[in-house]
Amino acid sequence: MTVVIGFEGSANKIGVGIIRDGEVLSNPRRTYITPPGQGFLPGETAKHHRSVILTVLQEALDEAGLKAADIDCVAYTKGPGMGAPLVTVAIVARTVAQLWGKPLLGVNHCIGHIEMGRLITNSQNPTVLYVSGGNTQVIAYSERRYRIFGETIDIAVGNCLDRFARVIKVIIWLIALYVSVVFSVEDLSKSTKYIELPYTVKGMDVSFSGILSYIEDAAHKLLSTSQCTPEDLCFSLQETVFAMLVEITERAMAHCSSQEVLIVGGVGCNLRLQEMMGVMCKERGARLFATDESFCIDNGAMIAQAGWEMFRSGHVTELSDSWITQRYRTDEVEVTWRD
């Protein structure tokens, strides 16, 4: 049996997970929550991670019922992600590996999502839609690489939705049309009135910045003149960007002759995205695989699972090479653990 502990902290989540031969033994995490309407800054996020990471580590060991001697390898997120949080996690992982006398392994964050999704859903060779606050990619495995067939050329879909959620909250507050404790595009998308928005698919790639700029400019005018409701705008934005993602995913499936789709990343929790993708898959006679927020959202177990696969195929990161990188492409990693 091989036991791997994984440290994840590339953004506002800090998690430590332990995997033993495909079994999730523990997976605690914490979230850095900013004041309402604000994004999280790298320095403040790293400060949060430093304050809780040892507590989360102890929780992971306690939940798994293991001690340091039971761990075979220490995996950590090498990138991509935010620089300061990545450094925080890498330092702790390096320290733990040296104190415990265990090999160290740097893991690509995106591949962590893919391998966790494959494990939980038991999908075999899916076309992967990876959607989060920082990444938007359509990926398929070929010749020892996770190949990127399409991606955003500017901002990620999660970033687009989050930024509009903050905008709509400010506008709603200013014109006193609507008040709520929690604002998110998914929460406010319970509408059926569609407002036409730019639809930007360029070959296999997508662009969200223009859509965001357009709807930000239009929102105040449309709401203040009662031409639509906040729900209408959120519904329209969500339908438009998700339709774009379904389109490029289907095109990748056709190219690869794939009969499986796996949605991973934080935005993959969105039930409407899963529903739209499910319709497309049904029309093609394909299967859709998705997970809940336990594994869609960043977590330590996904790094442990990717580390488990890599470690068993001979990968180890020397201490001198255990740096981090904010830009780490999914297709840079040689996937030696798959046929």
For the sheet containing 260-264, what is the strand order? 145-151, 136-142, 127-131, 260-264, 287-290
Question: Do 67 and 209 have their domain in common?
Answer: no
pLDDT of amino acid 201: 98
Question: Do 23 and 100 have their domain in common?
Answer: yes
113 is in an annotated binding site: yes
Let me know if residue 337 belongs to a domain. Answer: no
pLDDT of amino acid 170: 55
313: its two tokens: 């195929």
Question: Do 167 and 278 have their domain in common?
Answer: yes
Task: Return d(Cα 53, Cα 300) in angstroms, integer.
Answer: 11
Q: What number is the average pLDDT over the span 182-187?
A: 57
260 is in an annotated binding site: no
Q: What number is the average pLDDT over the span 46-56?
A: 98
Residue among 36, 14, 17 nearest 26 (CA): 17
Residue among 186, 193, 208 nearest 276 (CA): 186
Q: Express each pLDDT in 215-237 by its tens digit.
A: 999 998 898 898 988 889 999 99
Let me know if residue 160 belongs to a domain. Answer: yes
CA torsion angle for 72, 73, 74, 76 (degrees, to 10)? -140
| Percent of the chain scoring above 90 in pLDDT | 84
Band of pLDDT at residue 178, cut at 50, 70 and 90: very low
- Strand 260-264 and strand 127-131: the pairing is parallel
Let me know if residue 335 belongs to a domain. Answer: no
The answer to whether 162 and 36 have CB atoms below 8 angstroms apart is: no
Question: Do 105 and 198 have their domain in common?
Answer: no
- Total number of domains in the chain: 2
pLDDT of amino acid 229: 87
Let me know if residue 327 belongs to a domain. Answer: no
pLDDT of amino acid 167: 83
232 is in an annotated binding site: no
* 17 pLDDT higher than 90: yes
* 156 pLDDT higher than 70: yes
The answer to whether 46 and 11 have CB atoms below 8 angstroms apart is: no
Question: Do 66 and 159 have their domain in common?
Answer: no
| Percent of the chain scoring above 70 in pLDDT | 93
Cα dihedral 173, 178, 180, 182 sign: negative
Band of pLDDT at residue 175, cut at 50, 70 and 90: very low
270 is in an annotated binding site: yes
Question: Do 154 and 52 have their domain in common?
Answer: no
Question: Do 67 and 24 have their domain in common?
Answer: yes
Task: Return d(Cα 9, Cα 98) in angstroms, integer.
Answer: 20
- In this predicted structure, which of 30-44, 137-151, 297-311, 319-333 has the lowest mean pLDDT? 30-44
49 is in an annotated binding site: no
pLDDT of amino acid 45: 97
Band of pLDDT at residue 185, cut at 50, 70 and 90: low
* 177 pLDDT higher than 50: no
Question: Do 164 and 69 have their domain in common?
Answer: no
What is the span of the domain harbouring residue 130? 125-294
pLDDT of amino acid 125: 96
131 is in an annotated binding site: yes
* 20 pLDDT higher than 90: yes
Task: Return d(Cα 161, Cα 215) in angstroms, integer.
Answer: 11
130 is in an annotated binding site: yes
Q: 80 versus 40: which is more confidently predicted?
A: 80
Question: Do 142 and 250 have their domain in common?
Answer: yes
* 52 pLDDT higher than 60: yes
Q: What number is the average pLDDT over the span 287-299?
A: 94
Task: Return d(Cα 265, Cα 161) in angstroms, integer.
Answer: 14
133 is in an annotated binding site: yes
Task: Return d(Cα 146, Cα 24) in angstroms, integer.
Answer: 24
pLDDT of amino acid 75: 98
CATH number at residue 274: 3.30.420.40
Torsion-angle region of residue 143: left (phi > 0), alpha (psi -120 to 50) or beta? left
Q: What number is the average pLDDT over the span 128-151?
A: 97
